[in-house]
Structure 1
Amino acid sequence: MRYLGPLCGAKTAPRTLLILLLTLLLLGLGSLSPAVPGAQARTTAATARPWMNRSLSPDRRADLLLAQMTLDEKLALLHGWSGGSYVGYIPANTRLGIPALGLEDGPAGVADGMTGVTAFPAPEALAASWDTSLMRQYGQALGSEEWGKGANVALAPTVNILRNPQWGRSFETLGEDPYLTAMLASADIEGIQSQHVIATVKHYAANNQEYHRTTVSANVDERTLHEIYLTAFEYAVKEAGVGAVMCSYNKVNNVYACENPYLLATTLKGTFGFPGFVMSDWGATHSTVPAITAGLDMEMPDSTYFGNALKQAVLNGQVSMATIDEAVHRILRTMFAIGLFDYPTTGSPKATVTNAQHAQLARQAAEAGTVLLKNDGQLLPLDPSKIHSIAVIGPAASVAPQATGGGSAHVIPPYVVTPLQGITQRAGSGVTVRYAQGITTTGTLPPIEAQYLTPPSGSGQGLLGEYFTNMTLSGSPVLTRVDSQINFDWNGQSPGPGVPATQWSARWTGTLTPPVSGTYTFSLTSDDGSRLYINNQLLIDNWRDQATTTETATIQLTAGQPYAIRVEYYQNGGASNVALGWSIPGQENALLSQAVELARSSDVAIVFVNDVESEGSDRSSLELPGAQDQLIEAVAQANPRTIVVLNTGGPVLMPWVDQVPALLEAWYPGQEDGNAIAAVLFGDVNPSGKLPMTFPRSASDLPASTPAQYPGINDQADYSEGVFVGYRYYDERGITPLFPF
Structure 2
Amino acid sequence: MQTGQSNGTLGIMMDQLKRRFFQGLMNGPFSMTVECPDDADYQGPGPDPELEPDQRAQRIVDALSLDEVISCLGGYKSMAFPAIPKAGLPSIWFTDATSGPRIFGPCTSMPSPLNLAASWNPALAGNYGRTVGEETRTRGAYVILGPGVNIYRNPTGGRNFEYMGEDPLLAGILAEEYIKAAQKAGAICTIKHFAANNSDYDRHRASSDVDPRTLREIYLPAFERAVRRAKVGSVMTAYNPVNGIFASAHRELITEILREEWGFDGFVMSDWLSLYDTAGPVQAGLDLEMPKADWFSRERILQALEAGEIREEQLRTMVCRVLTVFFRMGAYDNPVIPREPIPIGDPDHREAALAIALEGIVLLKNGDSTAIATPASGVDDSPAGPQTTPRELPPLPLTPPEDRTMRIMLAGPFQEKFPRGGGGSCLVRSPAHTQVFASELAKDLGSGAEILSWDHQRSFMKELGPEDTVIFLGGFDEDRQSEAYDRDWQLPKDQLLVLGKLMNRRASQGFKLGVVLFTGGGVETRSWLHQVDWLVWAGYPGQEGPEALSRLLSRRDTFSGKLPFTMISRWDDLPSNHYYVDNPGSIALRRVFLDQGKVTKRQPWSMPYKEGQMVGYRAFAGWNTSAGSEPLPLDAADATPAFPFGFGLSYTTVELGDVQIKQRPDVDNPDEDRWDAQVTLTNTGDLPGKPTLQLYLEDPESSLPRPARSLLAFKKITLPALGSRTVPLSWSLRDLAFYWPEKAAWVAEAGVYRIHGGFSSGETRLVGEIHLDETRLWSYKEGKPEARE
Q: Does 1:185 align with 2:201?
A: no
Contact persistence 1:710–1:717 (CA under 8 A): no
1:57 Cα deviation after fit = 2.8
**1: distance between equivalents of 2:502 and 2:482?**
24
Pairing partner for 1:690 from 562, 576, 586: 562
Q: Does 1:250 align with 2:240?
A: yes
Q: What CA deviation, in whole Å up to 9, does each residue of 1:571-613 have, x standing for no partner?
A: xxxxxxxxxxxxxxxxxxxx9x647436448622222122231
1:337 Cα deviation after fit = 1.8
Match of 2:620 in 1: 730
Q: Matches of residues 505-654 of structure 1 in structure 2 within 5 Å?
A: 594=459, 596-597=461-462, 599-600=464-465, 603-612=468-477, 613-628=481-496, 629-637=499-507, 638-654=509-525
Aligned residue-pair number: 536
Closer/same/farther in 2, CA of residues 636 and 620 from structure 1, 3 Å limit: same
Q: Mark the runs of 5 or more structure 2 residues left unpaired by the alignment.
A: 1-42, 368-392, 585-602, 623-635, 646-789
Tell me whether 326-335 or 93-102 shows the greater mean CA deviation: 93-102
**2: distance between equivalents of 1:230 and 1:58?**
28
Q: What CA deviation, in whole Å up to 9, does each residue of 1:109-161 have, x standing for no partner?
A: 1236x532111111111100011111111111111111122111111111110
Match of 1:134 in 2: 124
**2: distance between equivalents of 1:595 and 1:162?**
42
Tell me whether 386-395 or 283-292 shows the greater mean CA deviation: 386-395
1:731 Cα deviation after fit = 1.2
Q: Read off the aligned partner of 1:433 and give its amino acid letter.
A: I
Closer/same/farther in 2, CA of residues 598 and 72 from structure 1, 3 Å limit: farther
1:198 Cα deviation after fit = 1.2
**2: distance between equivalents of 1:656 and 1:237?**
44
Q: Does 1:430 align with 2:430?
A: no
Tell me whether 701-710 or 674-683 shows the greater mean CA deviation: 701-710
Instruction: Using the aligned pairs only, state the percent identity.
Output: 35
Contact persistence 2:152–2:163 (CA under 8 A): yes
Q: SS at the partner of 2:202? A: coil
Highest Rg: 1 or 2? 1
Pairing partner for 2:439 from 410, 416, 421: 421
**2: distance between equivalents of 1:356 and 1:380?**
30
1:730 Cα deviation after fit = 1.3
1:247 Cα deviation after fit = 0.6
Normalising by structure 2, report the TM-score. Answer: 0.64
Q: What CA deviation, in whole Å up to 9, does each residue of 1:382-422 have, x standing for no partner?
A: 23454722323223443342231111111122123132121
Q: Read off the aligned partner of 1:66 and give its amino acid letter.
A: V
Q: Matches of residues 179-578 of structure 1 in structure 2 within 5 Å?
A: 179-308=169-298, 309-314=300-305, 317-346=308-337, 355-376=346-367, 377-384=393-400, 386=402, 388-414=405-431, 415-437=433-455
**1: distance between equivalents of 2:582 and 2:169?**
24
**1: distance between equivalents of 2:528 and 2:417?**
22
Pairing partner for 2:54 from 47, 51, 59: 59
Closer/same/farther in 2, CA of residues 128 and 196 from structure 1, 3 Å limit: same
Q: SS at the partner of 1:52? A: coil
Q: SS at the partner of 1:720? A: coil
Q: What CA deviation, in whole Å up to 9, does each residue of 1:431-452 have, x standing for no partner?
A: 22222139xxxxxxxxxxxxxx
Match of 1:701 in 2: 573
Q: What CA deviation, in whole Å up to 9, does each residue of 1:77-97 have, x standing for no partner?
A: 220123xxxx42233223313
Match of 2:31 in 1: none
**2: distance between equivalents of 1:595 and 1:168?**
38
**1: distance between equivalents of 2:442 and 2:328?**
49
Contact persistence 1:416–1:672 (CA under 8 A): no
**1: distance between equivalents of 2:405 and 2:308?**
80
Match of 1:176 in 2: 166
Q: SS at the partner of 1:605? A: strand
Q: SS at the partner of 2:105? A: coil
Q: What CA deviation, in whole Å up to 9, does each residue of 1:210-231 have, x standing for no partner?
A: 1110011111000011111111
1:246 Cα deviation after fit = 0.7
Q: Does 1:109 align with 2:100?
A: yes
Match of 1:482 in 2: none
Closer/same/farther in 2, CA of residues 56 and 635 from structure 1, 3 Å limit: farther
Contact persistence 2:503–2:513 (CA under 8 A): no
Closer/same/farther in 2, CA of residues 435 and 640 from structure 1, 3 Å limit: same
Closer/same/farther in 2, CA of residues 630 and 111 from structure 1, 3 Å limit: farther
Contact persistence 1:216–1:251 (CA under 8 A): yes
Q: Matches of residues 85-100 of structure 1 in structure 2 within 5 Å?
A: 87-100=78-91
1:52 Cα deviation after fit = 3.0
Closer/same/farther in 2, CA of residues 254 and 145 from structure 1, 3 Å limit: same
Q: SS at the partner of 2:133? A: helix
Contact persistence 1:632–1:656 (CA under 8 A): no
Q: Read off the aligned partner of 2:273 and give its amino acid letter.
A: G
**2: distance between equivalents of 1:224 and 1:72?**
43
Contact persistence 1:90–1:101 (CA under 8 A): yes
Closer/same/farther in 2, CA of residues 154 and 737 from structure 1, 3 Å limit: same
Q: Read off the aligned partner of 2:619 and give its amino acid letter.
A: Y
**1: distance between equivalents of 2:429 and 2:409?**
25
1:709 Cα deviation after fit = 6.7
Tell me whether 378-387 or 605-614 shows the greater mean CA deviation: 378-387
Contact persistence 1:88–1:301 (CA under 8 A): yes
Closer/same/farther in 2, CA of residues 204 and 670 from structure 1, 3 Å limit: same
Q: Does 1:71 align with 2:71?
A: no
**1: distance between equivalents of 2:213 and 2:581?**
17
Q: Read off the aligned partner of 1:379 and give its amino acid letter.
A: P
Q: SS at the partner of 2:236? A: strand
Q: SS at the partner of 1:432? A: strand
Closer/same/farther in 2, CA of residues 417 and 191 from structure 1, 3 Å limit: same
Q: What CA deviation, in whole Å up to 9, does each residue of 1:501-553 have, x standing for no partner?
A: xxxxxxxxxxxxxxxxxxxxxxxxxxxxxxxxxxxxxxxxxxxxxxxxxxxxx
**1: distance between equivalents of 2:139 and 2:218?**
35
Contact persistence 1:58–1:336 (CA under 8 A): yes
Q: What CA deviation, in whole Å up to 9, does each residue of 1:314-338 have, x standing for no partner?
A: 4664322321122112101111222
Q: CA RMSD in A?
A: 2.5
**1: distance between equivalents of 2:325 and 2:451?**
54
Match of 2:534 in 1: 662
1:715 Cα deviation after fit = 2.5
**1: distance between equivalents of 2:493 and 2:350?**
30
Q: SS at the partner of 2:577? A: coil
1:707 Cα deviation after fit = 4.9
Q: SS at the partner of 1:621? A: coil
**2: distance between equivalents of 1:161 and 1:595?**
45
Q: Does 1:740 align with 2:644?
A: yes
Q: Mark the runs of 5 or more structure 1 residues left unpaired by the alignment.
A: 1-44, 439-590
**1: distance between equivalents of 2:446 and 2:50?**
59
Normalising by structure 1, report the TM-score. Answer: 0.68
Contact persistence 1:102–1:152 (CA under 8 A): yes
Tell me whether 279-288 or 56-65 shows the greater mean CA deviation: 56-65
